[in-house]
Structure 1
Amino acid sequence: MVQMTKHRRKLSSGACTLAALLTLAGCGGGAGSGQTAAPAGASTTPQSDKKSETPLEMQMTVQLFDQVPNMDNAYWKEFMKRTNTKLNIEWIPDGDYTTKLNLILASGNIPEILVVPDLKHPPLVNAVKNGAFWDLTPLLGDFSKYPNLKNFSAPGAWDNSKVLGKNYAIPKNRPQLSGGPKIRQDWLDKLGIAMPETLDDYRAALKKIVDADLDGTGKKSTLGLVSKASLLTGSAGGFGDAFGTSKPTFDKEGGLIYETLTPQYADLIAWLRDLYKDGILAKEFSVMKPTQAVELFESGKAASLVNESFRYDYTFMQSIKKVQPSAVVDSTPPLKGPAGYAVRYSTGVSGAFLISKKVPEEKVKRILDYFELTNSKDYYDFTTNGLEGIHYNKVNGDIVLTDQHKKDVGPTSPWQPITLFYDKFGKVTTPAAPKDYNEAKMKKLDAQGYFTKGTISPFSIINSSTWIATWPKFEQEWISMSVKAIVGQITLDEYKTYVAKLNDDPGLKKAFQEFAQDYKTTFGK
């Protein structure tokens, strides 16, 4: 288990602890409405200092998480004016992106700038080996020309995003802390239940809510837990970490067992089995689409939702109030389990930009200048709020978004063509909420220990080529057996016997050895 307070040689550049790095990179969270105060030395340049140059035209292929934006609207026109660019963006829906990425890499018809969600993706690694992308290591040098990219990226981002030991990738920064299980605080209050602090508390609270049938239909249809992500990953809701799934576990030959094949993971399966037996876990959990989970929660039919950022507590609450006016949504504190807390940190890097080798060197330098310029507090605020008077207004010091904001800016599209200034509280606050609400939320999460009690799974950092090649042969069967264990179609002993058989597979045992070697190289253990 990689804790926030453990030394990480490979990922931390001269800093001893992740906790210290988080504090350094995320300091100054006093600004409200989804903003943090600019750290000392942050660039405040609002637009390119090379206005005399011809606008930098860039061809990008990026992920799309909402509606395709109109690049001729007020926001995007202003963005390109400030950056002195002309963006030609191909927006690919997130669900289709891997298929599109594979086609691009196979054809060799690579855009000037390509977003890659997973830097371990085998076709990408092969393309890098074959010289398809620029090695940016010599151009970046000591980062003296790129202080924003150096100082305001996620902790360890440039080490964590290396491919074959070099900086081919420009990391996309994201907060390391995302969210905790959401729960209907008003339903807890109505039944006289204290906010859960442990997994046992959580289970008991949801059981009482389900039995009380608080969705108002009178049909005993209230759901306890719905999830936007597969609960079988172990990371959804951080539940796996409460059982110690991210704690390094070695087989008798010294191989590092993948986290979902450990005894701790079997404990998670047993807990989910209990939730299912109690009628807490939605019967359709294994096939439920993300949109369905959100719709159930927003329509007031479920008590708890996992795998959403803290910033959605407020917006979900506003949606539910339309059908249940007294609704109050909050996130639980870090839920204590038998081997840790239900908190999972990311590495702070969510994909990256790679530049095609076909791009001339002088243009590559201008592209790097563009990423340097936009990796600043000014651009972070601009991409979040848009233009004052059009996309937001200030009311008593608070930023209040307009209807035009939703049309022009939207929730995530402005963040896709930039690296995004690292903000510790980026998934905690929302410009949709009042300043006082955001400030209270930040203080509350700090006090609850959300920034100190979580873990980073080593498997989000280390790699095994054998695992990548071998695991797909077993994955669907493993998913099926896990679901069967949760719903009671097989016993837990049968599930454990199945996993033990998997762990004896020669291909997987070889992968465990590779994981162990990479773990030792990365963390010095």
Structure 2
Amino acid sequence: MDQGYPKAVRKPKGRLGFVGLSMVLALMAGCSSGGGGTAKAPDAATATATPAPAPNVKQPEAKPQPPLEIQMTARLFEEAPNMDNPYWKEFMKRTNTKLNIEWIPDGDYTTKLNLLLASGNIPEVLVINNLKHPPVVNAVKNGAFWDLTPFLGDFSKYPNLKNFSAPDSWVTSRILGKNYAIPKNRPQLSGGPKIRKDWLDKLGIPMPQTLDEYRSALKKIVDADIDGNGKKDTIGLVSKASLFSGGSAGGFGDAFGTGKPTFNEEGGLIYETLTPQHAELIAWLRDLYADGVLAKEFAVMKPTQATELFESGKAASLINESFRWDYPFMTSIKKVQPDAIVDTVPPLKGPGGYAVRYSTGVDGAFLISKKVPEDKVKRILDYLEMTNTKEYYDFSVNGLEGIHFNRVNGEIQLTDQHKKDVGSTSPWQPIALYYDKYGKIVTPTAPKEYNDAKIKQVESQGYFEKGLISPFSVINSATWIATWPKFEQEWTSMAVKAVVGQISMDEYKAYVKKINDDPNIKKAYQEFAKDYKETYGK
């Protein structure tokens, strides 16, 4: 599926080509209508035939297996669910499992993950939120987790995991060249900056099409008493994620070309956050801050705080949230500001591309602790295989008919109990999740007409064509993993200082040059270049 690869960095050769035509056809059947197809994994009837039992010979009855008990961590993006409610009881009944999940707020997840890895007190199934996170890679290297490559083999026992996962996810999720991780699938297209369209309309501002227009629009909103409280205290931009990470929240980095391969004089591939393009991003954010557009507390703001500011009608734009939140946000804001209209801006054009967040389709992964016995590893894989279907995906979205949703004129309408029992993202955390191309665009709480229009809007704006996949989502360097943690905290601090004006841009660029001149960093860049050439054939 070439749409998943950038124009500048085309589909990788060799290592990324093994998925084959069967996967493409399966994905087309299951995903071409937004995951609404009827493609099913092969059932028992199509499996290898077994001889029929001899007549009049009583066959021994197979004993039912006891529930599979799994100790697991999971990321939490809302209130912790009650695992005794009807949804979770039915889920565990259908899967014959007993899930003992430690729910950890996403904003605290990396800290908790580091503690678990350092202590060695690793749960049976550990969810990781970053496949390149150095402590994770080091733990894998030290034998903390099962190498699942021999278990998976040719995937003949796991057709759902093969056919209904994101394109090439079993390659892009490799750690140290092997399948230690079971990838958690996500739509490759997530979203763009949310904006209060009603405020744009009120001030006569057209929907922004470029970074400059976006900055100008937010500046006008901040300078106006847009909410009519006489204080001019509206915040222009809040973010749920770091503005400095690879690609940056909202895809702003890609608008400056941070995801495009950039080589140093020795032919080494420079890490994207240390490129000249990324320094341009820092300068742009500096201008936003000087304009009074970027929230003063942006560097320490928690995801929940950013969401609350936008949802309460106090911020004009929010980044790092998917298209599917446009409707729920609008519904919430209307409670305090009845005329609110929330929309996602089109791909914003910048000097180096478009601000589009496009991913490999892998959002974290499961690792199985080496302490888990081999037989249980197989049962855990069977559980993940069983739940990686359209049937379980629909169940995770809608819940139980008659309790969490009803059908009215053929359409699904969610009940109040749905929000209490199912929520929006919790059911997706303990499963690999069937790949749905439009999963981050539509929302079950919105009318069908709204969802259909949103898909059409996103398609017509060119979001799928204009997105890039950064090569650093795929390639790796052992030296980088060992070296970058020594610089990361100080680099983040310097980036913040540059944005808020505590140091000049020249001082920031000089600091970045110092990092890029470090011998180990240069060695890492050579390793990146080698991996890039092997992966992409360039």
Q: Fold-level match, TM-score > 0.5?
A: yes
1:12 deviation in Å?
4.4
**Could you tell me how far apart the structure 1 residues matched to 2:63 and 2:104 are?**
31
1:323 deviation in Å?
1.1
* Partner secondary structure for residue 238 of structure 1: helix
* Cα separation, partners in 2 of 1:369 and 1:477, compared to 1, 3 Å: closer
Match of 1:203 in 2: 215
Q: Is residue 27–residue 163 contact of structure 2 (8 Å, CA) maintained in 1? A: no
* Cα separation, partners in 2 of 1:367 and 1:197, compared to 1, 3 Å: same
* Cα separation, partners in 2 of 1:445 and 1:24, compared to 1, 3 Å: farther
The answer to whether residue 438 in structure 2 is matched with residue 425 in structure 1 is yes
Percentage of identical aligned residues = 75
1:236-264 deviation line (CA, Å, top 9, x unaligned): 11111011011111111111111111111
* Cα separation, partners in 2 of 1:296 and 1:101, compared to 1, 3 Å: closer
1:156 deviation in Å?
0.7
1:43-86 deviation line (CA, Å, top 9, x unaligned): 699xxxx9943322323233333222222211111111111222
The answer to whether residue 41 in structure 2 is matched with residue 28 in structure 1 is no
* Cα separation, partners in 2 of 1:489 and 1:165, compared to 1, 3 Å: closer
- Out of 3, 6, 29, the residue aligned to residue 10 of structure 2 is 6
**Could you tell me how far apart the structure 1 residues matched to 2:68 and 2:511 are?**
56
* Cα separation, partners in 2 of 1:508 and 1:279, compared to 1, 3 Å: same
Match of 2:270 in 1: 257
The answer to whether residue 400 in structure 2 is matched with residue 387 in structure 1 is yes
1:327 deviation in Å?
0.5
- Out of 276, 280, 304, the residue aligned to residue 293 of structure 2 is 280
Q: Is residue 374–residue 419 contact of structure 1 (8 Å, CA) maintained in 2? A: yes
Alignment gaps of 5+ in structure 2? 45-61
* Cα separation, partners in 2 of 1:82 and 1:332, compared to 1, 3 Å: same
Q: Is residue 28–residue 39 contact of structure 1 (8 Å, CA) maintained in 2? A: no
* Partner secondary structure for residue 323 of structure 1: coil
Q: Which moved more, 1:190-199 or 1:306-315?
A: 190-199
* Cα separation, partners in 2 of 1:465 and 1:440, compared to 1, 3 Å: same
Q: Which moved more, 1:202-211 or 1:305-314?
A: 202-211
**Could you tell me how far apart the structure 2 residues matched to 1:43 and 1:101 are?**
37
1:116-158 deviation line (CA, Å, top 9, x unaligned): 2233334433443444333222222211221111110011111
* Cα separation, partners in 2 of 1:235 and 1:122, compared to 1, 3 Å: closer
* Cα separation, partners in 2 of 1:471 and 1:107, compared to 1, 3 Å: closer
**Could you tell me how far apart the structure 2 residues matched to 1:398 and 1:100 are?**
41
Match of 1:518 in 2: 531
**Could you tell me how far apart the structure 2 residues matched to 1:66 and 1:222 are?**
25
1:360 deviation in Å?
3.4
1:519 deviation in Å?
1.4
Match of 2:471 in 1: 458
* Cα separation, partners in 2 of 1:104 and 1:208, compared to 1, 3 Å: closer
Match of 1:33 in 2: none
Match of 2:67 in 1: 55
Q: Is residue 10–residue 536 contact of structure 2 (8 Å, CA) maintained in 1? A: no
- Out of 215, 238, 242, the residue aligned to residue 230 of structure 1 is 242
Q: Which amino acid aligns with 1:450?
A: Y
Q: Which amino acid aligns with 2:175?
A: V
* Cα separation, partners in 2 of 1:19 and 1:145, compared to 1, 3 Å: closer
1:209-261 deviation line (CA, Å, top 9, x unaligned): 22222022111212221111121224211111011011111111111111111
Q: Which moved more, 1:205-214 or 1:244-253?
A: 205-214
Q: Which amino acid aligns with 2:18?
A: S
1:488 deviation in Å?
2.7
1:30-50 deviation line (CA, Å, top 9, x unaligned): xxxxxx3125344699xxxx9
Q: Is residue 30–residue 37 contact of structure 2 (8 Å, CA) maintained in 1? A: no
- Out of 173, 177, 184, the residue aligned to residue 196 of structure 2 is 184
1:95 deviation in Å?
3.7
The answer to whether residue 245 in structure 2 is matched with residue 241 in structure 1 is no
1:313 deviation in Å?
0.5
Q: Which amino acid aligns with 1:313?
A: D
Q: Which moved more, 1:425-434 or 1:272-281?
A: 272-281
**Could you tell me how far apart the structure 1 residues matched to 2:214 and 2:136 are?**
41
**Could you tell me how far apart the structure 1 residues matched to 2:112 and 2:289 are?**
37
**Could you tell me how far apart the structure 1 residues matched to 2:83 and 2:104 are?**
15
* Partner secondary structure for residue 513 of structure 1: helix
* Cα separation, partners in 2 of 1:244 and 1:21, compared to 1, 3 Å: farther
**Could you tell me how far apart the structure 1 residues matched to 2:517 and 2:253 are?**
23
* Cα separation, partners in 2 of 1:252 and 1:360, compared to 1, 3 Å: same
- Aligned-residue Cα RMSD (Å) equals 2.5
Q: Which amino acid aligns with 2:184?
A: K
- Out of 346, 352, 373, the residue aligned to residue 386 of structure 2 is 373
Q: Is residue 42–residue 377 contact of structure 1 (8 Å, CA) maintained in 2? A: no
The answer to whether residue 294 in structure 2 is matched with residue 298 in structure 1 is no
Q: Which moved more, 1:280-289 or 1:259-268?
A: 280-289
Match of 1:32 in 2: none
**Could you tell me how far apart the structure 2 residues matched to 1:70 and 1:291 are?**
20
* Cα separation, partners in 2 of 1:153 and 1:221, compared to 1, 3 Å: same
Q: Is residue 40–residue 389 contact of structure 2 (8 Å, CA) maintained in 1? A: no
Q: Is residue 261–residue 269 contact of structure 2 (8 Å, CA) maintained in 1? A: yes
- TM-score normalised by structure 2 residue count: 0.89
**Could you tell me how far apart the structure 2 residues matched to 1:229 and 1:43 are?**
40
Matched residue count: 514
Q: Which amino acid aligns with 1:200?
A: D
- Out of 136, 143, 159, the residue aligned to residue 171 of structure 2 is 159
**Could you tell me how far apart the structure 2 residues matched to 1:381 and 1:375 are?**
11
Q: Is residue 60–residue 89 contact of structure 1 (8 Å, CA) maintained in 2? A: yes
1:474 deviation in Å?
2.4
Q: Which moved more, 1:400-409 or 1:251-260?
A: 400-409
Match of 2:47 in 1: none
1:368-395 deviation line (CA, Å, top 9, x unaligned): 2211110000100101111011111223
Alignment gaps of 5+ in structure 1? 30-35
1:21 deviation in Å?
10
* Partner secondary structure for residue 120 of structure 1: coil
Q: Is residue 21–residue 155 contact of structure 1 (8 Å, CA) maintained in 2? A: no
Q: Is residue 77–residue 425 contact of structure 2 (8 Å, CA) maintained in 1? A: yes
Match of 2:421 in 1: 408
Q: Is residue 74–residue 101 contact of structure 2 (8 Å, CA) maintained in 1? A: yes
